Amino acid sequence: MNWKDEIDKTHKGQTGFFKQIEMKQTTKNIRNTTEIEQAAMELLNIIRDSGQIKIFSAIPSLMSEMGLDRNEATRIMRLWMRNFSDEGNYKTVNKEANETNY
């Protein structure tokens, strides 16, 4: 039994004390994506699946196909990498570190 389990057992009779905290933190860090972010991340899935270019070379493709500047294309690329989904469901994503409000 680890220390978290021990605290769970002794913390006012509640089980899953740390699970509750983790769930609150997880939902706190989720946000809806914009239409541009969704479209760009779907494009990144297509680029990845095609195998025609290495995914780290996809930023110029995002810039030309989506009309994004380098900073925005890079931000969306990081967001996609952090939230990658084979299913392509990008309606919600985990916030980036600089987006998280503490």
**Residue 90 CB partners (closer than 8 Å, separation 6+):** 33, 37, 38, 41, 42, 80, 83
Instruction: Say if 71 falls within a structural domain.
Output: yes
Instruction: Tell me which of 19 and 36 has the higher pLDDT.
Output: 36
- Tell me if 41 is assigned to some domain: no
At 101, list the tokens: 């409000």
Q: Give pLDDT tens digits for 29-46.
A: 889 999 999 999 999 999
User: Mean pLDDT, to the nearest integer, of 59-84?
Assistant: 94
Q: Is the pLDDT at 71 greater than 60, yes or no?
A: yes
pLDDT at 25 (0 to 100): 47
What average pLDDT does the segment 71-97 reach?
A: 86
- On the question of pLDDT at 100 being above 50, the answer is no
Report how many domains make up the chain.
Answer: 1
Query: At residue 16, does pLDDT exceed 80?
Result: no
DSSP classification of residue 29: T
Close Cβ partners of 39 (under 8 Å, ≥ 6 residues apart): 66
How much is the pLDDT for 36? 94
Is residue 96 a contact partner of residue 82, using CB atoms and an 8 Å limit? yes
Is residue 11 situated within a structural domain? Answer: no
Residues 6+ apart with CB under 8 A from 16: 8
Segments forming the whole domain that contains residue 74:
52-90
pLDDT at 21 > cutoff 60: no
Q: How large a percentage of the chain has pLDDT more than 90?
A: 42
